[in-house]
Structure 1
Amino acid sequence: MTTLGALIVLFHPSKEELAHAVSLRTHCSSMLAIDNSPQPDVEAAAVLGASGVPLLHNGNRNGIAGALNRGLAQLFVAGADAVVLFDQDSSPPPEFFDVMRDTCSTLGAQPFLLGPRIYDDNEKRFLPEIVIDGLLVRRLRLDPGTRAQRCSFLISSGCVVSRRAFETLGNFVESLFIDHVDTEYCFRALLHNVPLYVIPQLVLPHRIGNKRRHRLGPFMLTSENHAPTRRYYTARNAMYIALKYGMRFPVAFSPNLWTLWQALQVLLFEADKIAKLRSILMGVADGLFGQLGPLETARPGLAAWLAHRVGRE
């Protein structure tokens, strides 16, 4: 039977999120929590320690990518055959671990990435599952009763990374820091012929951004309302992925269309327009020229300007 570990990344977790993290421990063979808060979270250490959940403080070093890499490495050294990744607000259904463990056993020793369907709680709809077919991209039609199906993209939350996949693909790119870290990993898996699977019977609720609905004439449109720093990372990393993978997979250019849509959202609906648009433009420029890493080192002037604005509010 597959030894399935669990890795949950925490960032200033609430009491409810800590209780949820503790509840995962009984369902997996091994577990590790990564505290990615800049300073050690005292309450997290107390709650998780009392429940026997190991906690490693990463201090947001190299963002979500750094947290995932350190956690995966530690769990694989401890003997896990595969590890499932969770955000602190992810709530898997009761059957999640049993189904994932059985599917991992079926797939055996091959490298693979495996994930559930993702239901966007904000939009009240499933995220589309797509597969690349040559130069074409098609959307999968998923029946909850079917077995795991090949797909081309998974988000990190709820994703299972097998030991062989981690050995084949290596670490998540820490210079991306946050946003599109999982997208890059999926493109790398496709490039190295590591299969990705979605399990239609498993559904993981997930919240993406602080979405709000707006009426524009006869249309209802959505804005995500991310902070300027997140706008920077999203725009920068989308451009980086396009340049790195676009010649092999033309769909890699599509995240840049999302960047344009984000800029339009800001112009039409969101507050703090100047800071967000400036962050998007600088992100695109840095992605073009490969200027990666945390905002504070990639764009210290922008980071200082944004921090000054926050301090004045």
Structure 2
Amino acid sequence: MPTIAAVTTAFHPDERLTAVVEAALKSCSRVVVVDNTPGDGPFLSDTLRDRDGVTVLRDGRNRGLAGALNAGLDELKSIAAPSSEAPDLVLFLDQDSVLTEDLVTGLAEHLTDPTVGIAAPAPWDEEQGRYYEPGTANGPDIAEREAVITSGMLVRRTVLTEVGPFRAEFFVDHVDNDFCLRVRTAGYRILRDKRYKLAHSLGQRNQHKLAGVSVASSRHPTWRLYWIARNGTVLIKEHRKDAPVWSRNTALYLVWWFALRTAIEAPRGPRAMAMLRGFRDGARGRTSRRYLPPGAEI
């Protein structure tokens, strides 16, 4: 078996974080927890500091998802430096994604193929008993993907070194898509194995009636709508030639999101403005810090 380390991100974590870390330690030699919760604490993540194999990073700042992932990777490098025993593979998790017993070892088998840079499970909605991504249930067990979500993905360390850090300017949304598209551009394959399910929360889902049709939506705070629009637009510009299908589907997704959020979610005006500013700034390559949440920095 290759050596595996994990980086877990957290934000105002609850007891699920402990379960995530305990599950990861069964297959990982080291788990680095990066807690983005702003303030002085103490917080639940501090209770994990005394566990063997666990390192907790918390400095009272919210550096965003990308910043937290990069901080975790930097910590792994500093831990490995004295002994020159860097892990072969790195597993990325969030605070509510608990691993099944054979998930990590199963994904690691795919990475024996040097053409594979990332192996990932299929996100699973336990409450509704279905895969999150449409078409997964009827698709092949192992599918090549242009992008997968960050939580649960297992990455070859040498690929991380070659491709570079996560994109800190993205803060939270599309961080996974940007990284995966760069991995693909570098010539590596990304595999999703649906035999390994990862229970994953996408937040509160609400049902709405739109033109007589029931529509489900995951309500995001207004500030996040800016980053969804802005970062998606940036990636469409950058990858419209090397990932045309992904770019087209993402453009359609953003149009749908804009229509849905402005039609059924109050306050409609501020939410529409946040996305419109995101589209504008993404097209111009700009970033507005006014849409960072309180206590956040990039």
> Which category of TM-score, normalised to the shorter sequence, fits these structures?
0.7 to 0.9
Equivalent residue number for residue 105 of structure 2: 98
Aligned to 1:178, which of 169, 172, 190? 172
Q: Which moved more, 1:17-26 or 1:91-100?
A: 17-26
Q: Which of 1 and 2 has higher RCO (CA within 8 Å, sep 6+)?
A: 2
The answer to whether the 8 A contact 2:117-2:155 is kept is yes
1:175-196, Cα deviation, whole Å (9 max, x unpaired): 1111001111111112111211
- Is residue 113 of structure 1 aligned with residue 114 of structure 2? no
1:187-223, Cα deviation, whole Å (9 max, x unpaired): 1112111211112310112122322122335522122
The answer to whether the 8 A contact 1:48-1:55 is kept is yes
Task: Indicate how the Cα distance of structure 1 residues 68 and 5 shifts in structure 2: closer, same or farther if over 3 A, else same.
Answer: same
The answer to whether the 8 A contact 1:8-1:86 is kept is yes
**Root-mean-square deviation (Å):** 2.6
Equivalent residue number for residue 83 of structure 2: none
TM-score by length of 2: 0.86
> How much has 1:73 moved relative to structure 2?
3.1
SS at match of 1:54: strand
Q: Which aligned runs of 4 or more in structure 1 are off by greater than 6 angstroms?
A: none
> How much has 1:72 moved relative to structure 2?
2.0
- Is residue 283 of structure 1 aligned with residue 290 of structure 2? no
1:15-94 alignment, distance < 5 Å:
15-52=15-52, 53-57=54-58, 59-60=60-61, 62-76=63-77, 78=80, 79-94=86-101
Provide the rounded CA distance (Å) in 1 between the counterparts of 2:77 and 2:107.
17
In structure 2, the gaps of 5 or more residues are 81-85
TM-score by length of 1: 0.82
1:201-240 alignment, distance < 5 Å:
201-240=195-234
The answer to whether the 8 A contact 1:235-1:259 is kept is yes
> How much has 1:269 moved relative to structure 2?
1.9
Q: Which amino acid aligns with 2:32?
A: L
1:65-113, Cα deviation, whole Å (9 max, x unpaired): 1111121233255211111100101122121122233433x235x6611
Provide the rounded CA distance (Å) in 2 between the counterparts of 1:112 and 1:5.
16
1:118-267 alignment, distance < 5 Å:
118-121=123-126, 124-128=129-133, 141-143=139-141, 148-251=142-245, 252-267=247-262
Q: Which moved more, 1:1-10 or 1:244-253?
A: 244-253
Q: What is the identity percentage for the equivalent residue pairs of Structure 1 and Structure 2?
A: 26
In structure 1, the gaps of 5 or more residues are 131-137, 293-297, 308-313
Q: Which moved more, 1:17-26 or 1:273-282?
A: 17-26
> How much has 1:275 moved relative to structure 2?
1.8
SS at match of 2:274: helix
Q: Which amino acid aligns with 1:260?
A: V
1:14-65, Cα deviation, whole Å (9 max, x unpaired): 1333343344323311111101112254233431023232101265554111
The answer to whether the 8 A contact 1:34-1:58 is kept is no
Provide the rounded CA distance (Å) in 2 between the counterparts of 1:32 and 1:214.
40
How many residue pairs get aligned? The number is 286
Task: Indicate how the Cα distance of structure 1 residues 158 and 19 shifts in structure 2: closer, same or farther if over 3 A, else same.
Answer: closer
Q: Which amino acid aligns with 1:113?
A: I
Structure with the larger helix share? 1
Task: Indicate how the Cα distance of structure 1 residues 162 and 14 shifts in structure 2: closer, same or farther if over 3 A, else same.
Answer: same
The answer to whether the 8 A contact 1:32-1:75 is kept is yes
Provide the rounded CA distance (Å) in 1 between the counterparts of 2:137 and 2:21.
33
Provide the rounded CA distance (Å) in 2 between the counterparts of 1:267 and 1:122.
27
Provide the rounded CA distance (Å) in 2 between the counterparts of 1:183 and 1:58.
27
Q: Which amino acid aligns with 1:182?
A: D
The answer to whether the 8 A contact 2:108-2:119 is kept is no
> How much has 1:270 moved relative to structure 2?
1.3
- Is residue 14 of structure 1 aligned with residue 14 of structure 2? yes
Provide the rounded CA distance (Å) in 2 between the counterparts of 1:101 and 1:76.
21
Q: Which amino acid aligns with 2:130?
A: R
